[in-house]
Structure 1
Amino acid sequence: MLREAFEYLTTPCPPLARRFGYLAEMVALGARHRRQRLAWAPHVAACRRFVDQAIQRVEPGGRALVAGSGLLIEIPLESLTARFDQVVLVDMLHARPVRRRAARLPNVRLLELDVSGALAPLATALDRGGPLPTAFAPPVLDGEPFRFALSCNLLSQLPLLPLEALERHAPDMPEAERMAFARRLVRDHLGWLSRVAERAALFTDTDSCWLRGGDVLEADDSTWGLALPAPDMSWLWDIAPAPEQDRRHDLRHGVGGWFDVRKVTSAVPPC
């Protein structure tokens, strides 16, 4: 607990990221990984294997973008820096260990950015008690298009903290409006990835299930109702074996990886 408190107090963090809970989420994720390193190891290896295969599908050189780089747990950073002239790591904030690691690699750049473009308009709407924002869009980045872009476990996660903020500040908002907002974030992310790079790949958790003794007790979709095509690679992530999150039950995620986001985008029906 002391380590987590120190990280929370000393990590440089933009106000918007702190307000929506991204700093607390990052600190908690790092702590969970330290506790569950062995359980996570197959997932981490699968992610890095997926990224290594994805970057072999593009020509070397040029610039690469990693969206949702986080704590770099799942990212083979050295493989990326060896393949591309520059690697831009994008997230809401960057922990000090990430900053130190990036500083040792001359072709790595850190960028703190909300890739959804929705958080600032949402914060304004919540402050004013207004309706959910509709005038928002993912950002345009200097140097687009990149040669390669990678989205790391973002597709399912983008709506979570904004929806938690809505629950706190607008508990009476109809569920249909919340879900429409969430689906727009997810769809816009796919469109942004297709635009921001000549070739983009993504991996994301696609479902979650609670197990007891290996038997599935409850399962939920994690893609916000989007009918994604079959992934190019898939694997399991034992994210919270008992008693990490529940005393008796294990939490497991299914994860999918797609080498070409444009094929995903074209397969997802419009709203």
Structure 2
Amino acid sequence: MLREAIEYLTTPCQPLARRFGYLAEMVALGARYRRQRRAWAPHVAACHRFVDQAIQRVEPGGRALVAGSGLLIEVPLEILTARFDQVVLVDMLHSRAVRRRAAGLPNVRLVELDVSGALAPLAEALDRRAPLPTGFEPPSIDGAHFRFALSCNLLSQLPLLPLEAVERRAPHTQDADRLAFARRMVQGHLCWLSGIAERAALFTDVDSSWLHRGTVTEVEESTWGLPLPAPDMSWLWDIAPAPEQDRRLDLRHSVGGWFDLHAVTSALPPC
């Protein structure tokens, strides 16, 4: 607990990230990983294999973008830096450990950014007690185009903390409005990612399962109803074996990886 408290107090963090709980979430994720490193190891290895295979599909050199770089648990940073001239790591905030690691790699750049473009409009709407925003757009990054872009376990997570804020501040918001807001975030993310790079790839959890002694008792879809095609790679992630999140139940995610987001977005409704 002392380590987490120090990390929370000393991590540089923009007000919007702190307001929506991204700093607390990052600290909690790091603590969970330290507790569950062995259980997570197959998932981490699968993520690294996916990224390695994805980047083999593009020419070396140029710039690469990693959205949702987080604590770099799932990101094989040295493999990316060896393949591309510059690697841009994008997230709401970067821990001190990530900053130290990036400082040792001259072709890594850190960017703190809300990749959905939704948080500032949502904060304003909640403060004004207005309807949830609908016209937000993902931001540009220096107006630059990338040779390769990667979304790391971000798609399913994008709406979670914003919707928690909605529940706190505007609990009477209709379920249909919440789902429409979430769907705009996740579909906008796919379209943004595929639009800024010659080749874009993604891995994300697609469902969550609760298990009791190895038997699945409940499954919940994690992609907000988005009709994604079958993934190119898939694996399981034992994210919270009992008693990590529940005294008796294990939490497991199914993860899918897609090498070419252009093929994915072409099958979706227009952005």
Task: Give the unaligned 5+ runs of structure 1.
Answer: none
Alpha-carbon deviation of 1:135? 2.5
Partner of 1:217, secondary structure, is strand
Q: 2:265 is matched with which residue?
A: 265
Q: 1:64 is matched with which residue?
A: 64
Alpha-carbon deviation of 1:112? 0.2
Task: Give the unaligned 5+ runs of structure 2.
Answer: none
Amino acid at match of 2:210: W
Alpha-carbon deviation of 1:140? 1.1
Alpha-carbon deviation of 1:143? 4.8
Alpha-carbon deviation of 1:227? 1.2
The alignment status of 1:231 with 2:231, answered yes or no, reads: yes
Amino acid at match of 2:167: E
Length-normalised TM-score, structure 1 = 0.99
Q: 2:244 is matched with which residue?
A: 244
Q: CA–CA distance in 1 between the matches of 2:43 and 2:131?
A: 39
Q: CA–CA distance in 2 between the matches of 1:269 and 1:107?
A: 37
Output aligned runs, 1:152-191, within 5 Å. 152-191=152-191
The alignment status of 1:124 with 2:124, answered yes or no, reads: yes
Partner of 2:168, secondary structure, is helix
Q: CA–CA distance in 2 between the matches of 1:137 and 1:222?
A: 22
Q: Percent identity?
A: 82
Instruction: Tell me if the contact between 1:116 and 1:137 (Cα under 8 Å) persists in the aligned partners.
Output: yes
Amino acid at match of 1:229: P
Offset from partner CA, 1:138-190 (integer Å, 9 cap, x none):
00111521000000011100000000000000000100000000000011001
Partner of 1:61, secondary structure, is coil
Q: 1:216 is matched with which residue?
A: 216
Q: 2:145 is matched with which residue?
A: 145
Q: CA–CA distance in 1 between the matches of 2:140 and 2:152?
A: 19
Amino acid at match of 1:160: L
Q: 2:101 is matched with which residue?
A: 101
Partner of 1:106, secondary structure, is coil
Alpha-carbon deviation of 1:268? 2.2
Q: CA–CA distance in 2 between the matches of 1:37 and 1:213?
A: 21
Q: CA–CA distance in 1 between the matches of 2:144 and 2:208?
A: 34
Q: CA–CA distance in 1 between the matches of 2:239 and 2:268?
A: 27
Amino acid at match of 2:97: P
Q: CA–CA distance in 2 between the matches of 1:260 and 1:86?
A: 21
Q: 2:112 is matched with which residue?
A: 112
Amino acid at match of 1:33: Y
Q: CA–CA distance in 2 between the matches of 1:144 and 1:257?
A: 25
Amino acid at match of 1:167: E
Instruction: Tell me if the contact between 1:40 and 1:237 (Cα under 8 Å) persists in the aligned partners.
Output: yes
Q: CA–CA distance in 1 between the matches of 2:248 and 2:131?
A: 41
Q: CA–CA distance in 1 between the matches of 2:240 and 2:268?
A: 30
Q: CA RMSD of the aligned region, Å?
A: 0.9
Offset from partner CA, 1:107-145 (integer Å, 9 cap, x none):
000000000001001001111111111221000111521
Offset from partner CA, 1:64-93 (integer Å, 9 cap, x none):
000000000000000000000000000000
Amino acid at match of 2:264: V
Alpha-carbon deviation of 1:20? 0.2
Q: CA–CA distance in 2 between the matches of 1:144 and 1:177?
A: 33
Output aligned runs, 1:75-94, within 5 Å. 75-94=75-94
Offset from partner CA, 1:6-38 (integer Å, 9 cap, x none):
100000000000000000000000000000000
Extract structure 1 runs of 4+ deviating beyond 3 A: none
Instruction: Tell me if the contact between 1:155 and 1:223 (Cα under 8 Å) persists in the aligned partners.
Output: yes
Partner of 2:94, secondary structure, is coil
Q: CA–CA distance in 1 between the matches of 2:212 and 2:229?
A: 29
- Aligned residue pair count: 271
Offset from partner CA, 1:200-238 (integer Å, 9 cap, x none):
000000000000111000001000001110000000000
Q: CA–CA distance in 2 between the matches of 1:63 and 1:17?
A: 26
Instruction: Tell me if the contact between 1:144 and 1:197 (Cα under 8 Å) persists in the aligned partners.
Output: no
